Chain A
Amino acid sequence: MSSYERLFDIPIGPQHPALKEPVLLNLKVDGEHVVDVGVDISYNHRGMEKAAEYRTYVQNLYLIERVCGICNIAHTLSFGTAIEGLHGKPAPERAKVLRVLAEELERIQSHLLWLGIAAHEIGFDTLFMYVWLDREISLDIMEAFAGNRITSSYISIGGVKRDMTPEIAGKMLKGMDKLEGRMAYYRKAISEERTVLKRTQGVGLLGAADVASLSAVGPFARASGVAVDVRADDPYAAHELVPIKVVTGDGCDVFTRIMVRIDEVVESINAIRFCLGHLPSGPILQRLPRRVPAGDFLSRVEAPRGELTHFVRSDGSDKPYRYKIKTPTFSNIPSLAKMLKSTGRYVVNIADVPVILASIDPCFSCTARFERIG
């Protein structure tokens, strides 16, 4: 029973210090406790899927990359896999391994980015600055390897655009050693730092049963003990060859999500080392015709935030008939709404809302695939 006379509405967003992207959280609060939440993710809707129908497949490569700047390689990988699937000609073996390499490198920078943002949301800006300084190591490698820091345009239809050279491989191995040391340091520092523990342990709880029934994906689901990972469940590119351990935790809170992501960075470092040691020789790109055979194809990729699904329907021309994207953040929004509601002894304070929101690693630019009307 409420101790206050009435509930209040607190809108957070679309412009708010705690948010990096335009999203509207309509909180209903009873005193200090959040009892209900409405999420409006329509601010980023740009008409991406419709735009894809106006372009040829080659032009779409550059459009699809800009669905999300952080996980651009996951998006282009999914797009490339789908088009190659329609042709029935998978990429060459060397390109497959290079794709995994690029993808894991992107996962490292994305998880480090997230770790910094999470630290910022709990007011621990020192950690934010340290993590983002270390993130530059992975971005330097990305620039040398793929050609650009963020939107790298690395993956092409039929393979990849740049080959690996021994100099870049050496630089990469050196960078991985450095990052591994830093990750061990962060793991120790965060699990002992009282500021972090007080703000994250027992915050944003969501049990395994809820996570499974709300179809959550990615590191967020794995931190609640649900081992879903497309890399292991439905291997794509060269993931049959690259050994990957699915990192899970059973804390179900924000702290466990931090730990799971730190461990995943270490797993990605190991995967990159494996790829560099087992790089097959051969071509990196095969030429495919401009016109794509008619048919449907659905490709799944494990983006840094979770399972990413691309669906393409071709009518035999050089432009897609329909393109559909389902992003991991979209799958995690129902879980977010559930986590933000106080029920029984589980209470959500207003001060915890930013870090709970950050804990699903939201990327609303990926997500806004529809618009609310009215």
Chain B
Amino acid sequence: MGLRNWALRKSPWILHFNTGSCNGCDIELVATLTPRYDIERFGMYLRGSPRHADILLVTGPVTRQVRDRIVRIYNQMPFPKSVVAIGSCCMSGGVFSNCGKGPCYNVYAGLDQLIPVNAYIPGCPPKPEAIIDGVAKLLESMKATKRKEGTPDEPAQ
């Protein structure tokens, strides 16, 4: 665990992207930033630009219209990066996963079909405590795992 990993765990900047959510998860995510839950205790800070972000928080079933955007945002984030899928829709499609045959015609039902996901937070919507718990566990796992060799701009340890 080097200095960079320590800095990353103590001050992860987060980016929020809504991929067609019903706003339930989004408002609970915003509630985690506000005084009752105060996610800034963990050094987390909501940023507007993917270029500044370390953790991408995604809510909502991924609609077809938004697919190119979420992939582009993921590619714009600098390494090392993590993705958290918040809510049942983002994990597996939730209520949109079963409409006749397969998911609704306009959703992908699961973010992990498009980009790699590091943590899943179940709930519809998950409570702010659950979101904090999920992100804290992600940070904990960063401590344990060594960085994969050969990731861009990251020399092998």
Enumerate chain A interface residues (CB-CB to B < 8 A).
14-18, 20-22, 42-48, 50-51, 54-55, 62-63, 66-70, 72, 113, 116, 128-129, 132-133, 135-136, 139, 149-151, 363, 365, 368, 371
Given contacts A63-B95, A129-B35, contact A70 B65 (CB under 8 A): no
Size of B's binding interface in residues, CB under 8 A: 41
Q: Which of A50, A51, A63, A70 has the most CB of B within 10 A?
A: A51
B34 within 8 A of A: yes
Q: Would you list 13 pairs from A and B whose C-beta atoms are within 8 A, ordered by A residue? A: A17-B48, A21-B18, A42-B65, A43-B65, A46-B96, A47-B96, A50-B105, A68-B22, A70-B27, A132-B35, A132-B36, A151-B24, A365-B21
Kindly list chain A residues whose C-beta atoms are within 8 Å of the C-beta of B30.
20, 132
A132 and B31 contacting across the interface, CB-CB below 8 Å? yes
Shortest CB distance A368–B (Å)? 8
Chain A facing B: main interface SS = loop
**Across-interface contacts of B98 in A (CB, < 8 A):** 54
Q: Which of A17, A46, A363 contacts B106 (CB 8 A)?
A: A46
Counting from the closest, the 3 A-B pairs by CB-CB distance are A69-B24, A17-B48, A132-B34
Taking beta carbons and an 8 Å cutoff, which residues of B are in contact with A? 16-28, 30-31, 34-36, 48-50, 60-61, 63, 65-66, 69, 73, 94-96, 98-100, 104-107, 124-125, 127
Q: How far is the CB of B50 from chain A (nearest CB, A)?
A: 7
Tell me which of A14, A21, A129, A365 contacts B34 (CB under 8 A): A129
Given A69-B26, A132-B31, the answer on whether A51 and B96 have CB atoms closer than 8 Å is: yes
Give the number of residue pairs across the A-B interface with Cβ within 8 Å: 127
- The reply to whether B66 and A68 form a contact with Cβ atoms under 8 Å apart is no
A22 in contact with B20 (CB, 8 Å): yes
**A21 CA to B104 CA in the complex, in Å?**
20
A300 to chain B, nearest CB (A): 21
B104–A50 touching, CB < 8 Å: yes
B33 CB to closest chain A CB, in angstroms?
8
- Residue on A nearest B20 in the bound complex, by CB: A44
Q: Which of A18, A22, A150, A371 contacts B24 (CB 8 A)?
A: A150
* Complex CA distance for A129 and B31, rounded to whole angstroms: 9
Point out the residues of chain B lying under 8 angstroms from A50, CB to CB: 99, 104-105
Min CB–CB distance B144 → chain A (angstroms): 31
Cross-chain contact of B65 among A16, A17, A139, A371 (Cβ < 8 A): A371
* Contact between B20 and A149, CB atoms less than 8 A apart: no
